[in-house]
Amino acid sequence: MAGSGAAVQQIERDDVPPSFTADHIDLFAAIDPAEIAMMSELVGQPYTVRRRQIIRREGELVDGFFFLHRGWVASSSLLDDGGRQITKVHLAGEMMGTPSIAVVKAADTLIALTPAVVSRIPLSALGRLFRDMPRLAGVLFLHAQMERIALADRMASVGHSGAESRLAALFLHLRDRQRLTDPTVGNEYRLPLTQEDMADMLGLTAVHVNRTIRALEQRGVIARKNRWLQLIDIDALGNLARMPQREPVRTPDWLPPPATTRPMTPAAAA
């Protein structure tokens, strides 16, 4: 089985992934422990994938979606011209492949950018969720809407700005996303993306990504070593990127109350 043998010894925390974490949706409303418990029950057994291993291929029949316990995963789709569009990179603690539940054949390929630990979530879990946990369903709905905003913002970046701007936006965005679940991440983080990966995310070519990164580096805006990226001149990056700040709603009052908790004072929030 995965994880057996001597390698386990040196790994202390962060090794056995929790069955389900709600960090990525928790910002809309504090997820009830009972809700997490139920989700954990529905989530399948975690398993490990190698770097560059395909978790689900575009075109396969959709029978569920995925939860990423550890590592980075890209969601991409192939283009007729042989190109590849990376729709999103998923970080630990996020759901993956959810858009494809709306279609018969998966719209995106999920491929591991690092060694990763994932679980499959069967669609039947969604049915129970919408029936028994309307509040959590509402939070997932909000999450999907937020993803639409994020995609629209990225499309604006790709459509209306140059290569430097797009790269700056990407670097800042990845920093912020990691911070969401790991506050220790600072302006220096490990970036497991290939330059070709970045190109496929931003609608550029690997060659031009290289040139642009190099220019940023020589100007002292960023630095690289091994696979680590250091953001040096944050202001310069911010000026280049100019991504709008989106403030997520926090426990909007229309959300149904948690299914597991009886509302104690009906008008307390008003």
List interacting residues with DNA (CB under 7 A).
52, 162-164, 194-196, 203-208, 210-214, 224, 226-227
The least distance separating its own copies from the CB of residue 72, rounded to whole angstroms, comes to 18
Q: Could you say which residues in the range 177-196 bind its own copies, by CB under 8 A?
A: none
- Among its own copies, DNA, none, the one that 8 touches (CB under a kind-dependent 5 to 8 A) is none
- Among its own copies, DNA, none, the one that 5 touches (CB under a kind-dependent 5 to 8 A) is none
The C-alpha angle 7, 11, 15, rounded to 5 degrees, equals 105
The least distance separating its own copies from the CB of residue 222, rounded to whole angstroms, comes to 21
Task: Give how far Cα 171 sits from Cα of 33, 66, 166, Å.
Answer: 33, 25, 9
Task: Give how far Cα 113 sits from Cα of 16, 44, 91, 106, 118, Å.
Answer: 20, 21, 10, 19, 13
- 225, 254, 269, 270: residue in contact with its own copies (rule CB under 8 A): 254
The least distance separating DNA from the CB of residue 197, rounded to whole angstroms, comes to 8
The C-alpha angle 188, 194, 195, rounded to 5 degrees, equals 95
- Among its own copies, DNA, none, the one that 163 touches (CB under a kind-dependent 5 to 8 A) is DNA
The least distance separating its own copies from the CB of residue 132, rounded to whole angstroms, comes to 9
The CA-to-CA distance between both ends of the chain, in Å, stands at 53
Give the H/E segment covering residue 180: helix 163-181
The Cα–Cα gap between 226 and 220 comes to 17
Do residues 93 and 23 touch, judged by C-beta distance below 8 A? Answer: yes
Q: In what order do the strands lie in the sheet with 116-122?
A: 47-49, 116-122, 64-70, 95-96
- Give the number of other CB atoms < 10 A from CB of residue 165: 20
Q: Which is nearer to its own copies, 2 or 61 (CB)?
A: 61
- Among its own copies, DNA, none, the one that 147 touches (CB under a kind-dependent 5 to 8 A) is its own copies
Binding site for its own copies (CB under 8 A): 28, 62, 77, 79-81, 83, 85, 87, 98-105, 107-108, 123-124, 126-127, 130-131, 134-135, 137-138, 140-149, 151-156, 158-161, 202-203, 242, 244, 246-249, 252, 254-256
